[in-house]
Amino acid sequence: MGYYDHFDESIDYRQHPEKYRVGRGEQGVLMVEPYKSELLPHWRFKTPKIAEESCRKLSEMFEEYRKQDDFVGMDMARKYIQMGYTRARRYANYKGGIKYKDKEKKEINERQIDEEKAASAQIFKRKWDAIREDENYLARKKAHQKQYG
């Protein structure tokens, strides 16, 4: 089974949460509908001000999914918040976000720290850390995994 084989873009995961697998990290973030269409338009990190607004909106959506008892939505919002951190950090470390000079040879570009992107990354990191310690989220995650795998 490949990295993304357990995600099918033709499935409405809100209607079929039993088909959703939590996966690792950000797996499926650009494939799980209708959440991708709901969350992606709000995912931005170019400046700390933009990142703050993005993280606030994604956090509100996380809480709205919680109110709707929609674990898949919660987990997808968590993934976008996590991706806000990881992508902003990549752009903070490497000009244009390009880590590899030559990916096949595993030649890495020299780091050139962009403090603005690093600040954006920290905004998302704080929220991601809070979610990873959110007992309600963790209990829902465990229950989903126990019920559906």
Per-residue pLDDT of the chain (149 residues; tens, 9 = 90+): 344 446 788 899 999 999 999 988 888 899 999 999 999 999 999 999 999 999 999 999 999 999 999 999 999 999 999 999 999 999 999 988 888 888 888 888 888 898 999 999 999 999 999 999 999 999 999 999 999 98
Q: What is the value of pTM for the model shown?
A: 0.90
Do residues 80 and 29 make contact, with C-beta atoms less than 8 angstroms apart? yes
d(CA 74, CA 68): 10
Q: How far, CA to CA in Å, does 77 sit from each of 2, 19, 111, 118?
A: 23, 17, 29, 21
Q: What DSSP character marks residue 109?
A: P
